């Protein structure tokens, strides 16, 4: 099973979009195994976005993700990275397809509402950054057999 981190960024919280965004992910059949509301400190932001350090947008990215509370979600499932990325839409909302989270709710790349892991390796790494193993819940839903073969 793959895992992914979803971060509902400060703009999603300020706009009251936690429920609609999480609903879309759950309606896809994805299973949430961890959920936190937190204020990301600068050191954690730098660790999370370390792959972008040195790029011109890095300081603004760190400043933005630390500017307000976020919701961090761990999701597990079969092909979860691809499913989540398709549900979230292109990083630039202008290029995001209608029906995706960014395509329906965002207009600016700097305020694109949500972060999603981009590979199984980053999913594992990001889950470990934000969650201790004991904070993740393995559970069965009565609908699991209707979602996955």
Which of 73, 63, 59, 66 lies closest to 22 in space, CA to CA?
Answer: 73
Residue 47, judged by CB atoms within 10 A of its CB (0-12, 13-18, 19+), counts as middle
Residue 121 lies in a domain: yes
Share of the chain above pLDDT 70, in %: 100
Which of 18, 27, 143, 121 lies closest to 83 in space, CA to CA?
Answer: 27
pLDDT of residue 148: 87
Domain enclosing residue 126, as ranges: 2-39+70-138
Can you list the positions of beta strands (E) in 60-147? 70-77, 114-116
Residue 130 lies in a domain: yes
- Enter the pTM of the model: 0.94
Residue 35 lies in a domain: yes
Mean pLDDT over the full length of the chain? 96
Residue 102 lies in a domain: yes
Instruction: Examine the residue annotation and report whether 52 is marked as an active-site residue of this protein.
Output: no
Residue 81 lies in a domain: yes
Pairing mode, strands 70-77 and 31-38: antiparallel
- For residue range 58-77, what is the model confidence (pLDDT) as tens digits? 999 999 999 999 999 999 99
Backbone angles phi, psi at 100, to 5 degrees: -90, 165
- For residue range 71-109, what is the model confidence (pLDDT) as tens digits? 999 999 999 999 999 999 999 999 999 999 999 999 999
Residue 77 lies in a domain: yes
If one counts the domains in the chain, the total is 1
Residue 16 lies in a domain: yes
Query: Looking at residue 104, which CATH number applies to its domain?
Result: 3.30.70.141
Alpha carbon distance 4, 73 (integer Å):
8
Q: Select which of 9, 24, 76, 115 is catalytic.
A: 115
Residue 100 lies in a domain: yes
């Amino acid at each position: 099973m793959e895992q992914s981190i979803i971060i509902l960024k400060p703009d999603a919280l300020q706009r009251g979009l936690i429920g609609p965004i999480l609903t879309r992910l759950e309606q896809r059949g994805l299973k949430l195994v961890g959920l936190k509301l937190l204020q990301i400190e600068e050191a954690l932001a730098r660790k999370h976005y370390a792959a972008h350090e040195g790029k011109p947008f890095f300081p603004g990215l760190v400043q933005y993700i630390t500017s307000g509370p976020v919701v961090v979600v761990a999701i597990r499932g079969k092909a979860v990275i691809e499913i989540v990325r398709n549900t979230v839409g292109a990083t630039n909302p202008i290029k995001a397809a209608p029906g995706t989270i960014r395509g329906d709710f965002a207009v600016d790349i700097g305020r694109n509402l949500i972060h999603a892991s981009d590979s199984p390796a980053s999913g594992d790494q990001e889950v470990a950054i934000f969650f201790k193993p004991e904070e993740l819940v393995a559970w069965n839903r009565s609908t699991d057999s209707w979602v996955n073969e």
